[in-house]
Amino acid sequence: MTGALALQWASQVALGLLLVGMLLAVIRLVRGPNLGDRILALDMITVLATGFITGVAVLTGFSLYVDIAIALALVGFLATVALARYLMSRARDQEADR
Amino acid sequence: MIELAQYLAAVLILAGAVFSLIAAIGVLRLPDLYTRLHAASKAGAIGAGLIFLALAVVSLDGAIILRSLLGIVFLLLSTPLSAHLLARAAYRCGEAPTAATTVDDLK
């Protein structure tokens, strides 16, 4: 019985830590001097949200949340790749202007 | 046995959350985009991966274990890839590394 209690306590603390991490990433998202920093902050938030959803799955015992976490990781990866491609095309335009 | 798995999962999920928090602190505190990418792509992927592993340990269902391991593999494949793409795009955009950088092989 105490194992379940320890797991519940640990996952609640873990969710709190992930929330603090997300807040720090949001600060970077707002402050980030360039577009690259903002893309990085968004990617970080997505990875943290993946961890958060999996943590909710551990806490509630409703394991099917893992599907949502995997789908979110996939979408986040695609979004980061698309934004990086956009940044790359902007760099190409800059070189063409010069 | 189940008790042991629950204690193991508790340790794993706490370790994953601490790794993720350290990654977020790195993203906030490090001086330039390249060092921030270094923090986010390594510690971030390991943090989320450890939480996936905790779910795999605590759920006694083969399908969930398989999906958690799939999630870990996907994270370990995709995070370095996106970090590399982003660093390359930023370098092409002319994003300067921090003044403390001594070696720049692309120059």
Question: How far apart, in whole angstroms, are the C-alpha atoms of residue B73 and residue B48?
Answer: 11
Q: Exposure string (b/e) for A39-75, b if CB count within 10 Å is 16 or more?
A: bbbbbbbbbbbbbbbbbbbbbeeebebbeebbebbee
Q: What is the pLDDT of residues B57-77, one digit of tens each?
A: 998 888 999 999 999 999 999
For chain B, the helix, strand and coil percentages under 3-state DSSP, each to the nearest 5: 80, 0, 20
Tell how far CA B10 is from the center of its chain. 19
* Inter-chain touch B27–A47, beta carbons under 8 Å: no
CA distance A55 to B54: 9
Cβ separation A92–B47 shorter than 8 A: no
CA of A72 vs chain B CAs: smallest distance (Å)? 10
Q: Do A7 and B23 touch (CB under 8 A)?
A: no
Q: Which residues of A touch B4 (CB under 8 A)?
A: 3
Asked if A48 has any chain B CB less than 8 Å from its own CB, the reply is: yes
Half-sphere exposure of A64 (CA within 13 A, CB side): 0
Q: Using the beta-carbon criterion (under 8 Å), do B17 and A15 form an inter-chain contact?
A: yes
B19-52 pLDDT, tens per residue? 999 999 999 999 889 999 999 999 989 999 999 9
Instruction: Report, as an integer, the average pLDDT of B8-19.
Output: 93
Q: Do A65 and A91 meet the contact criterion of CB atoms below 8 Å apart?
A: no
Asked whether the predicted pLDDT for residue A63 surpasses 80, the reply is: yes
**CB within 8 Å of B36: residues ≥ 6 apart:** A28, A37, A40, B26, B27, B30
In angstroms and rounded to an integer, the radius of gyration of the C-alpha atoms of chain A is 18
The pLDDT confidence band at residue A1, using thresholds 50, 70 and 90, is low
Q: Which of residues 54-73 of B touch A (CB under 8 A)?
A: 54-55, 58-59, 61, 64, 67-68, 70-71
How close A55 comes to chain B (CA, Å)? 7
Interface membership of B26 toward A (CB under 8 Å): no
B106 touches chain A (CB under 8 A): no
ipTM of the complex: 0.90
In chain A, the percentage of residues whose pLDDT exceeds 90 is 70
pLDDT tier at A38, thresholds 50, 70, 90: very high
Record the pTM: 0.91
Reported confidence tier of residue B3, pLDDT bands at 50, 70, 90:
confident
If you ran DSSP here, which 8-state letter would residue B97 be given? P
